[in-house]
Amino acid sequence: MTQSGTPDEGDLIEGHDHTDQTPYENVDLKNHKTHQNTTVWEADEKGLMHGVTRQVTIDGRAHEGEQTVTRALQSRHLQMIAIGGTIGTGLFVGSGGALATAGPVGTLLGYVIVGAMVYAVMISLGEMTTLYPVSGSFTHYATRFVDPALGFALGYNYWYSFAVILPNEITAAAIVIGYWNQTINTAAWVSIFLVAIIAINFVGVAAYSEAEFWMSFIKVITIVGLIIIGIVLDLGGGPNHDRIGFRYWKNPGPFNQFNGIPGATRRFLAFWSSFVQAAFSYQGTEIVAVTAGEAQNPTKTIPKAIRRVFYRILLFYVGGIAVIGLLVPYTNDQLLNNTGTAAASPFVIAIETAGITALPSIINAVILFAAFSAGNSDLYTSSRTLYALALDGKTPAFLRRCTRQGLPIWCVAITSLFGFLAYLNAGAASAGTVFEWFVNISTVSGLFAWATICFSYTCFFNAARIQGLDRNTLPYKTPFQPYAACFGCILALLIILFNGWSVFLAGNWSTATFIADYIGVPIFVGFYLFWKIYQRSKLVRLEEIDLLRGGEGWTRRRKKNGFR
């Protein structure tokens, strides 16, 4: 700061002081400039100014002199992660369980509706992330636009949900090897995958993004190939020349019957049961926003990535589910095969039924890639969420520490410890029940994240309306708002509420199942109440939300650039 009071280039300007009659009349966030002058955001956006702090806490305080994460994630990485990053075992294998429960049409409708919810979540998140591209993104938005206690609850739930699913994915990858070789102890493969995932994440975001780029590329090519093969088989192009068409939609039928309940009610319940499996399959779609703090030029790359989410949902998920519903009857016993390998994949069942023998091993290899990729992303996502909590002052300060290469080393190290729980799952049969709980907790936490993202957006939307900020000036204005955000929030909460509805049916009560389905709810509420009481946080009033601070990429700028 100079003696005259004019800030130097390195000083942090917290934003507009709101003394003008219309605070945002000179601001054009879409083109990153004010009406008087252009800004100097480009260097930070492209990752050139990574030697000093760029991330800012909610109260506008930067931690000067600290190393921070760097913008090393290139556009091609972000686009491929957006397209194929979350294609995993839920689509390749888990979709078979949904088909067995709900039937072909019930499953297809479930994936379409949940896919619409995920799209609503992503466009809501995309608009905020493009404007405020910070580490952790949505945990910060909940703090900034709603209530610091909500940001605290969301951040810790999201962190531990991905941390506890990490050992499950490592174990899944090790089990997949059993499709070829069952003589080697699973713990040996667990060790190999655990070391590889930790090593990639300790190298930094460049290694993570490059690994995810190629694994996502393999998954995308595979699922596209499987859909094409499925269409060919359905039309009678397989070795047995059996033209299936819509045979299985007629017999055994479009919907399964749930638990012996008569009439349309049991068909509806079977359809509703597919929502949870669909939510698990879509889990992690929001990871694109977690990378915002390390993405190069996020105001351009993130909107492109968000737009491609729609096509991914339509082609990979909806297209894939439609194909397997045509090829495999929901009464096929192999759909409920709990091996976790390609043997339970509806794609493999269809291919083997058609008389093709070579492809199952190839698909199993891709499932191995998918499980490893999921574990790799779990460690990255959870560690960056912990780092975002540290930036907002919700963890011990030492977790803000980054290396010169931009690695939040303590966050990665602490989160990596969860991976060693995979040995427990590999060595004890009873541990499988515990890990089933972990999976359910992770799914519920993901749904809470989606609901919170949408609710945060509605607060942002209403604050912009009340304060006179024209959304047409934003870097990325999304369609269907605020109705899409309301739809996403309400449906996510409904799925959480009815997640374990089947235990309340006559003769179905199970205390263990009830706890597994709903334990995530009191955990989330407990985190919220803890911070609410401990910090006495309050809901943020819409007219008091600072929409301008950080609204051009969280860069440092001089007051002469229009922020007076």
Task: State how far the Cα of 389 lies from the Cα of 193, in Å rounded to an integer.
Answer: 28
Q: Which of 20-24, 145-149, 163-167 has the highest mean pLDDT?
A: 145-149
Q: What is the DSSP letter of 12?
A: P
- For residue 34, which of 556, 555, 552, 554 has the smallest C-alpha distance? 552
The answer to whether 32 touches 41, Cβ cutoff 8 Å, is yes
Q: By percentage, how much of the chain surpasses pLDDT 70?
A: 80
Task: State how far the Cα of 508 lies from the Cα of 361, in Å rounded to an integer.
Answer: 38
Q: What pLDDT, on a 0 to 100 scale, did the predictor assign at position 283?
A: 82
The answer to whether 271 touches 109, Cβ cutoff 8 Å, is yes
* One-letter amino acid of 548: L
H runs (alpha helix) in 283-421: 287-290, 298-312, 319-327, 346-353, 359-391, 409-416
Q: pLDDT tens digit string along 468-519? A: 888 888 888 888 889 999 999 999 999 998 888 878 877 778 887 788 788 8
* Of 253 and 119, more confident: 119
pLDDT (average), residues 9-29 = 38
Predicted confidence band of residue 255 (pLDDT cuts 50, 70, 90)? confident
Q: What pLDDT, on a 0 to 100 scale, did the predictor assign at position 415?
A: 93
* One-letter amino acid of 52: V
SS3 28: strand
pLDDT of 268 over the 60 cut: yes
pLDDT (average), residues 70-90 = 76
Q: What pLDDT, on a 0 to 100 scale, did the predictor assign at position 432?
A: 52
The chain-wide mean pLDDT, for the chain, equals 77
pLDDT (average), residues 294-298 = 77
Report the range of poorest mean pLDDT among 66-75, 274-283, 486-495.
66-75
Predicted confidence band of residue 59 (pLDDT cuts 50, 70, 90)? very low
Q: Which of 25-39, 261-275, 451-465, 538-552 has the highest mean pLDDT?
A: 451-465
pLDDT of 452 over the 90 cut: yes
pLDDT of 407 over the 90 cut: no
Q: What pLDDT, on a 0 to 100 scale, did the predictor assign at position 552?
A: 46
Q: What pLDDT, on a 0 to 100 scale, did the predictor assign at position 43?
A: 34
For the chain, the 3-state helix, strand and coil shares in percent, each to the nearest 5, are 65, 0, 35
Predicted confidence band of residue 39 (pLDDT cuts 50, 70, 90)? very low
pLDDT (average), residues 12-16 = 34
Predicted confidence band of residue 348 (pLDDT cuts 50, 70, 90)? confident
- What is the crossing angle of helices 95-131 and 263-282, to 10°? 50
Q: How many CB atoms are located within 10 Å of the residue 5 CB?
A: 7
The answer to whether 106 touches 267, Cβ cutoff 8 Å, is yes
Q: What pLDDT, on a 0 to 100 scale, did the predictor assign at position 448?
A: 92
- What residues are paired with 27 via a beta bridge? 34
- How many C-alpha atoms does 469 have within 13 Å on its Cβ side? 26
Q: pLDDT tens digit string along 204-226? A: 888 888 888 888 888 888 888 88
Q: What pLDDT, on a 0 to 100 scale, did the predictor assign at position 33?
A: 43
- Which residue matches tokens 């009406």? 35
Task: State how far the Cα of 527 lies from the Cα of 133, in Å rounded to an integer.
Answer: 25
Tell me how many degrees the CA angle 53-377-166 measures, rounded to the nearest 5. Answer: 115
- What residues are paired with 33 via a beta bridge? 28, 38
* Of 250 and 553, more confident: 250
74: left (phi over 0), alpha (psi -120 to 50) or beta: beta
Tokens standing for residue 16:
């507009």
- For residue 175, which of 187, 158, 164 has the smallest C-alpha distance? 187
Q: What pLDDT, on a 0 to 100 scale, did the predictor assign at position 270?
A: 80
Q: What pLDDT, on a 0 to 100 scale, did the predictor assign at position 197?
A: 93
- For residue 77, which of 376, 279, 414, 412 has the smallest C-alpha distance? 376
Q: Which of 189-203, 302-316, 367-381 has the highest mean pLDDT?
A: 189-203
Report the range of poorest mean pLDDT among 24-38, 169-183, 257-271, 473-487.
24-38
Q: Which of 69-83, 299-313, 329-343, 457-471 has the highest mean pLDDT?
A: 457-471
Predicted confidence band of residue 82 (pLDDT cuts 50, 70, 90)? confident
| Residue 302 vs residues 128, 306, 308, 309, 421: alpha-carbon distances, Å | 10, 6, 10, 11, 34
* Of 135 and 513, more confident: 513
Report the range of poorest mean pLDDT among 142-146, 302-306, 424-428.
424-428
Q: What pLDDT, on a 0 to 100 scale, did the predictor assign at position 436?
A: 66
Burial of 27 per CB tally in 10 Å (0-12, 13-18, 19+) = buried
- What residues are paired with 295 via a beta bridge? 73
pLDDT (average), residues 408-425 = 87
Tokens standing for residue 110:
């479930």
**Residue spans per domain, the chain:** 76-157+208-359+432-536
pLDDT of 306 over the 70 cut: yes
* One-letter amino acid of 519: I
Q: What pLDDT, on a 0 to 100 scale, did the predictor assign at position 67?
A: 65
Report the range of poorest mean pLDDT among 7-21, 344-358, 498-512.
7-21
